[in-house]
Amino acid sequence: MCGRFVVARVGNELVGELRADHIADDLPAPSYNIAPTARAAIVLDSAKTDPPTRRVESARWGLVPGWAKDLSIGQRAFNARAEELEAKRMFAPALARRRAVVPATGYYEWKVTDDKKVPLFIHSADDRPLLFAGLYEWWKNPEAADDDPARWLLSFTILTRSGAGRLGSVHHRMPVFLDADHADAWLDTSVTAPRDVLDAAIDDAERVAESFAWHEVGRAVGNVRHNGPHLIDAVA
C-alpha cells in the first residue's frame, strides 16, 4: 500500500518527462510527509480541449466521488486495489474517464520485522521521480456558493497491486508504478480499454521497481506533524 509519500520538488522538475502543457500556480510546497487528506500535485489530460491539455493540478489525497454527501468518504479511499476497480462504484467511473499520474520523490512503507514495524523510504536509485497510477474525481460542495473557490474539489487515489519482486519482501502491496510510456498511455483520454493499459502497466511494474532503492528512516515520519528533509535520512 502507500500511506505516506514525499514530493521534494515541484513544477517541471517533478513532471518534466510527462511534458505538461499547463502547471497550476497553486501547487503545494515540497513536503516530506504527505498523508491522506493532504494536497499533492497530480497530472491529468483534460479532454475539454482538442487536442487534450496535459495539466498539473493540486488535488486532495483521498478520492471523493461526485455522488458523495461530504468529504469524509475520501479518508478511506487514498488507495484503490487495481484488481477490483470495475467492481467498485467508488472507482469504476474514474477508471473509464478520469485517470491520473501521481509523481513523487519516493514513498514510505512500514516493514514488519521481529514483531515491530520499521519505516523505510523507497525511492529511485537515480533520483528520478516515481510515477504512480492514479484516478481523480471532481466533487461539488453543496454548501459552498457558486463563486466560492471551494465550490469544486479535485481529489485522487493511488492504485496498488500485490507486492512482487524485491519490493514483495517489504510489503504485500505496492503502488502501480509507471514508466513514461505507460504514463502517457494511462493519461490518454482517447483510450477505450483502460483495463488493458492498466494490466500492461501492472505486468511491467516489477521491472520498473527493480531500479528502486530503500533505507530505514526514523520513526518521526509516523507523525503527520513532522516534516522536512531529515525525515528521509537513513538511520544506522
Which percentage of the chain shows pLDDT scores above 90?
79
Rank 41-50, 135-144, 216-225 by mean pLDDT and report only the highest.
216-225
Number of residues written out for the chain: 236
Buried b (16+ CB within 10 A) or exposed e, 76-108: ebbbbbbeebeeeebbebbbbebbbbbbbbbbb
**What is the rounded average pLDDT of the residues 155-175?**
94
pLDDT score, position 1: 65
pLDDT score, position 193: 95
Q: Report DSSP letters for 90-124, one per residue.
A: TTHHHHHH-EEEEEESEEEEEEEETTEEEEEEEEE
**Helix, strand, coil % (nearest 5) of the chain?**
30, 35, 35
Is 90 exceeded by the pLDDT of residue 144? no
> Residue 99 — pLDDT band, cuts 50, 70, 90?
very high
pLDDT score, position 115: 79
What is the gyration radius of the CA atoms in the chain, in angstroms? 17
Q: Report DSSP letters for 11-63, one per residue.
A: THHHHGGG--SEE-TTPPPPEEEE-TTSEEEEEEEETTSSSPEEEEEEEEES-
Is 90 exceeded by the pLDDT of residue 142? no
Q: What is the pTM of this model?
A: 0.95
> Residue 16 — pLDDT band, cuts 50, 70, 90?
confident
**What is the rounded average pLDDT of the residues 211-230?**
95
Topology annotation, domain 4-232 = hypothetical protein yedk fold (3.90.1680)
Taking a C-beta distance cutoff of 8 angstroms, is the pair 122, 212 a contact?
yes
Q: Evaluate the omega torsion of the peptide bond into residue 51 and state whether it is cis, within 30 degrees of 0.
A: yes
**What is the rounded average pLDDT of the residues 190-201?**
94
Cell numbers found for residue 52: 487534450
Identify how many contiguous H helices and E strands the chain contains and give both numbers: 4, 13
Specify the pairing of strand 130-140 against strand 99-104: antiparallel
Of 4-8, 60-64, 111-115, 209-213, minimum mean pLDDT range: 111-115
Is 80 exceeded by the pLDDT of residue 145? no
pLDDT in tens, 27-54: 999 999 999 999 999 999 998 888 889 9
Average pLDDT, the chain: 93
**What is the rounded average pLDDT of the residues 199-223?**
93
Q: What is the DSSP letter of 223?
A: S
**What is the rounded average pLDDT of the residues 70-92?**
94
Would you list the domain boundaries of the chain?
Answer: 4-232
**232 against 210, higher pLDDT:** 232
Taking a C-beta distance cutoff of 8 angstroms, is the pair 61, 3 a contact?
no
**What is the rounded average pLDDT of the residues 92-119?**
94
**Residue 60: which of 73, 49, 48, 45 has the closest Cα?**
73
